[in-house]
Amino acid sequence: MSNAFIRRLDSVERLTKVERQAIAEATKNVQKVGARRAILREGDRNGGAHIILSGLACRYRILEDGSRQITDFLVPGDLCGCDYIAGADTGYSLAALSPCSFTHIDHQSLTVLMDRHPRIARALWSLALINEGVLREWLANVGRRPAVRRVAYLMSELCFRLLASESPRPSSCALPLTQIDLADATALSPVHINRVLGRLREKRFVSLQRRSIIVKDTEGLMSFAEFSGNYIQPRAHDA
């Protein structure tokens, strides 16, 4: 397998060699972007799918008062939204949080890929359902969990997703996030985030570096957050 997107699709639908080659051909034009750079701006005519191949990106909205709401993080293998099917205007922006590589599949090529390879179409549908599960969990997290567990849960989920392909799973995880990023993803103020991270440092779950957060004890953090990755775990179907 040549890239993270193939691995991601193969995790939910066991692909054949021909199907993997078709995906590799469709995603061969790789672009790179530095940290904190735009990949897609709100209102752009997407005309296809953006797929993150390495690094960490976020999807966000800028509201009328100029504030930013992060609505999702994208890890290697993730593709951006469902509007690629209709070719609609994007209702969000996409930016790299760390140096990223990504590819773009135009609408026509993606349609041909799904028409010729039904198993790939099923895999994309499965990923869309997983993404819906992530969105529901984000809503519950922001709406009901207290601040400390809200942040701990978000970081637990992100570590889980970033480390999903590594076996055995490492005990630590580096997140290229600032306190502002966490505030914009959890609907908390930067001052509140600072207090929360202080609590998590006291518990020895995390440490802070410049523009990054190091989760030193992923299992401990997940246990504290009462995190379950069941809604993310794919169940692959054989080819």
Q: Is the dihedral of CA 159, 163, 168, 171 positive or negative?
A: negative
Domains plus CATH for the chain? Answer: 4-118 (2.60.120.10), 135-225 (1.10.10.10)
The pLDDT tens digits for 177-229 are 999 999 999 999 999 999 999 999 999 999 998 889 999 999 999 999 999 88
Find, among 24, 50, 20, 52, the residue nearest to 117 by Cα: 20
% of the chain surpassing 70 pLDDT = 90
For 40-53, give one letter per residue: b (16+ CB within 10 A) or e: beeeeebbbbbbbb
DSSP per position, 145-206: S-HHHHHHHHHHHHHHHHTTT-SSPPS-EEE---HHHHHHHHT--HHHHHHHHHHHHHTTSE
* Cβ neighbours of residue 145 closer than 8 Å, sequence gap 6 or more: 153
| Contact of 46 with 91, CB cutoff 8 Å | no
The pLDDT tens digits for 118-150 are 999 999 999 988 988 999 999 999 999 999 999
Quote the CA–CA distance of 113 and 128 in Å, as a whole number.
17
Given a cut of 50, is residue 84 above it in pLDDT?
no
Given a cut of 60, is residue 89 above it in pLDDT?
no
| Tokens 């849960």 belong to residue | 153
Mean pLDDT estimate for the chain? 90
Quote the CA–CA distance of 149 and 200 in Å, as a whole number.
10
The pLDDT tens digits for 4-34 are 999 999 999 999 999 999 999 999 999 999 9
Token pair of 171 as six digits: 């005990």
pLDDT at 47: 66
